[in-house]
Amino acid sequence: MSADQGDTQIRASDSDRERIVTRLRAAVGEGFLTLDEADERITAAYAARYRGDLTPLTADLPAPVPPPRDPRPFAPPRLLVPLAVLAAVFVTLSLVSPVHHFFWPIIPLTFLALRVFGHRHHHRPNAGATR
């Protein structure tokens, strides 16, 4: 017995029906079905007793396209720890320095912060871009 023949004898659950109805509503939004066609199929989906009754309702629709996913989550640069150590050295040198007129580590620390956070900003994929 094939899987399709087995589905004709298995009762459809509410979640089975809702999954089909969600797909039919998406098909209307994508322009695959008219409102009348979708209304007929949705009515048939809610009236279906067996999973086999649900299969023909979406058989002529293309497979749903999964949403795009981020290729990789943000990973901090490999130099983050050495940069933090360098920043700590700059601050320590500033504190032990006899001249306290100007907090000079602010200049290299600013460049380091721009480098680290700029890396994060420029290497994120554009979520709104399409190919």
Distance CA 31, CA 42 (A): 16
Q: How confident is the model at residue 105 (pLDDT cuts 50, 70, 90)?
A: confident
106-122 pLDDT, tens digit each: 787 788 777 767 655 55
Q: Which residue has the tokens 């322009």?
A: 31
Return mean pLDDT, the chain: 79
pLDDT of residue 85: 83
**Residue extents of the structural domains in the chain:** 3-58, 68-131
pLDDT of residue 5: 55
Residues paired with residue 50 on neighbouring β-strands, in sequence order:
11
pLDDT of residue 121: 52
Closest CA to 48 of 106, 7, 92: 7
Percentage of the chain surpassing pLDDT 90? 39
Q: How many CB atoms lie within 10 A of CB 125?
A: 10
Distance CA 16, CA 111 (A): 56
Helix (H, G, I), strand (E, B) or coil at 1: coil
How many residues make up the chain in this entry? Answer: 131
79 pLDDT more than 80: no
Q: How confident is the model at residue 104 (pLDDT cuts 50, 70, 90)?
A: confident
